[in-house]
Every structure is written in C-alpha cells, then in structure tokens.
Amino acid sequence: MISSNSDNKKNDNIEDYFMAKKEISQAVIQRLPRYYRYLEDLMDQGIERISSSELSKRMKLTASQIRQDLNNFGGFGQQGYGYNIKNLHDEIAKILNIDNEHEMIIVGAGHLGQALANYTNFRKRGFIVKAIFDKDPSIIGKKVGEIEIQPMEKLDEIIKASNIKMAAVCIPKNAAVKVVEQLINDGIVGIWNFAHVDLEVPENIVIENVHLSESLMRLSYRMGESLNAE
C-alpha cells in the first residue's frame, strides 16, 4: 500500500493544481475520461495497482505519454510501484469534477433525449437527470423512466427551483439558438449540445458541441483505408 506520506503528497499535488489553475491542453483533457474508464474497469477486475507500461498496453498509448499526462496534475505514481488504481481513479474524478453529483436537465424528448434520460451510466458517473422538456403537447406528461416530460413553459421555474446548472440540448438546430439563450438566462452554465450546430456562447458559459455523425464519418474513412489496403 502507498504510505500515508505519499497520500498526503498526492493530495497536496492535486490541491496545488487547482490553486495554480494550470493551463492543460485539450488533448490531455480529452484523454482523462478514457483514463477514468480504464481505471474503473481495472477496479471491477479487483486489480489494485498498475505500472505506466501495463496501462499503456491496455490503452494503446506510450508509457511516457501517460506519465506526461498525469504529471500535468502533479503525478500520482511511485517508481517501482506504479499507480494505486483506486487513488488515481479518485483523483481523476476530482480533476474532472465528477466526485460530486451534477443535477441536469434534458431539453428535447425525442429519441435521443429519451435515450440519454434512460442511460443508467450517467447516474453512475454522478450525472442526475432531474427533468426532461419538450414543446410537443402530445407527449407532455408522459414518462421517460421515472421522469415526467415537462412543457417548455416550466423550464425557468424548474431550473431555478432546483438550482440546475447543466443541460443537454437535443432539439433541431433551427431552435437551438433561442433555447440556449433561454437556458443561459435561467442560470444554466454548462451545455451539452446535440443540436447539430456549433453554438457560440458567452465566455462564462461552458459548451460541449457533440456531432454524432462525425464519429460515423471517421469510421467510414478508416474502413475505406482498411479496404483499400487489402
């Protein structure tokens, strides 16, 4: 086991990172959820520690890349020991700000919105869907799992009553700008945007624009490369 001194040093490192607000590259940030997922799988297998070399083989990264990524946050390994998987998993959760629960809403109760509302792994990661909204009167009042679909007119009331800060937007792109403006005015500061349009928001608002078709196009490209190589 890692000694208490090492644990204290590790905690100091992560606290120093947050105090310093070090600028981290987007490439590193994009890899952090992947580290978290692999570490979670290792914990499920009952594995307690792992070297950067072993982790690199599983993740198909170089060991030096892993060490470099984690050193951005102070480093968590010990020479000759490797990484304590649970400790590293917990520290990455802190860095990703998922060590606490985040209540969120979904705007748009179509197929995608309902799929997100029903995805149980979100709750496992600490993302709790509190409400789902739509403008279609034919589905207002129906339930998605345990969540009743609310009319858009209740958006402001529910966001403010529950102090919701995060929203997933699953609506057509021609409606997205107006809805996102309303969300921001109601107090939302984090937007997960599936509206198939890159939206510009004020600097104090965080937005993650997601385009599912782009992933399929990348898959198509790689398939073409593979088939052409045969």
What is the reported pLDDT for 72?
87
What residues does 208 pair with on adjacent strands?
192
- Contact call for residues 162 and 130 (beta carbons, < 8 A): yes
- Are 48 and 117 in the same domain? no
- Are 129 and 210 in the same domain? yes
- Are 92 and 145 in the same domain? no
Residue written as tokens 């403008």?
A: 135
- Are 114 and 205 in the same domain? yes
- In terms of pTM, does the model score above 0.85? no
Asked, for residue 22, whether it belongs to a domain, the answer is yes
| Domain with 68 in it | 18-96
Residues 6+ apart with CB under 8 A from 34: 59
Query: pLDDT of 28-47, one tens digit each?
Result: 999 999 999 999 999 999 99
Asked, for residue 219, whether it belongs to a domain, the answer is no
- Are 207 and 106 in the same domain? yes
Query: pLDDT of 179-229, one tens digit each?
Result: 999 999 999 999 999 999 999 899 999 999 999 999 999 999 999 988 887
User: What stretch of H or E contains 82?
Assistant: none
Q: What is the CATH number of the domain that holds 126?
A: 3.40.50.720
- Are 123 and 176 in the same domain? yes
Angle (CA) 90 118 182, round 5°: 90
Looking at the structure of the chain, the number of domains it has is 2
- Are 142 and 200 in the same domain? yes
